[in-house]
Amino acid sequence: MIDYLYGSKSIGVRNYTRELNQHMSLIDVNTRLCGVGGWRVLQHLNQDEIQEHLIKCIPTNISNVLHVQYDTLMFRGAGDQMDEMDNMCWFIEQMLSKYERVFITFHGRVEFANVSWFTQPVDRMLLGMLSRAWHKQVIPMLNKCTVLVHSLPHVKLLESQGCNTVQLFTHPTTRHSPSHEPNMSRVRVAVPGQLVNRKQVGQAIETCTHIPNSVLTIDSTDLALVEHYKSIARSRGVPVELIKWSMNTHEYLDQLSEHDVALVMYDQDVALSGSVIDALRCGL
């Protein structure tokens, strides 16, 4: 039996977990999905409350294996990055006493870039504190687990940080719909998934100015971001259509398949992009 623990802040991580769960069921492995909730739930919890909440998310009848799908902010609660690392170490220690094996999949990279002395002194100090906590507290706890990532550069990064239990894990996926030739009289371009700043939607809008007859589809959930990007699109002469992406994976992929092109432009390297994988599954 495998328990999958995941957060709901990222649609990509949530869908990834559910798809992984389906793949395991096909090979007759018993699994359970254990959701911790999204940011709207977790952001109000102080350190004691979030620790109590995380424990409640674990089934009382413990299985052999826990697989944590590490989601951005799932351990932070109402605190800061230091609290997040403390909570993560505390949680791993608790789970190691309950489960025979603990796996953690990282869907993003944790890096502490060198900063210039021109950087504000407070920022330099905070970065140094976070780096020390990561290397001296978190990495030793990760070395008691099996850490899974989705790219060789991410493996090498964690190894350089002292993690000696990291392994490369290939994302299981299947084709949802075949590739097709776009209708050049109206090219439907999509930014898959929820709007987040790191996806560089502004750059996607700029790219559409170079795609004749393009119409850009963006998520309609965050009204403030929608108005911001609609304003940019109007100034660049790019038509925008809004869509509420389905929370059901199959329905979401059906929606995505109606488009011709997907634009996923991150502001930094990512270990794995669920949005890119979804687009490839839909033949975009």
Strand order across the 146-149 sheet: 31-35, 2-6, 65-70, 101-106, 146-149, 166-168
Q: Which residue has the higher pLDDT, 233 or 72?
A: 233
SS3 5: strand
The gap from C-alpha 71 to its chain's centroid, in whole angstroms, comes to: 6
Count Cα neighbours of 269 within 13 Å in the Cβ-side half-sphere: 10
Neighbours of 274 (CB within 10 A): 22
- Tell the residue number behind the tokens 């932070």, with chain if given: 76
Neighbours of 259 (CB within 10 A): 23
* Selection from 138, 135, 115, 136 nearest residue 125 by Cα: 115
* Selection from 194, 248, 251, 246 nearest residue 223 by Cα: 194
Rounded distance between C-alpha atoms, residue 54 and residue 37, angstroms: 10
Beta-ladder partners of 215: 188
pTM, to two decimals: 0.71
| Tokens (6 digits) for 102 | 């603990």
- Tell the residue number behind the tokens 């869908």, with chain if given: 15
Give yes or no for residue 92 having a pLDDT over 80. yes
**Local confidence band at 15 (pLDDT 50, 70, 90 cut-offs):** confident
What are residue 204's phi and psi, to 5 degrees? -65, -40
pLDDT at 160: 92
Beta-ladder partners of 261: 189
* Selection from 192, 200, 194, 193 nearest residue 265 by Cα: 200
**Local confidence band at 50 (pLDDT 50, 70, 90 cut-offs):** very high
Give yes or no for residue 39 having a pLDDT over 80. no
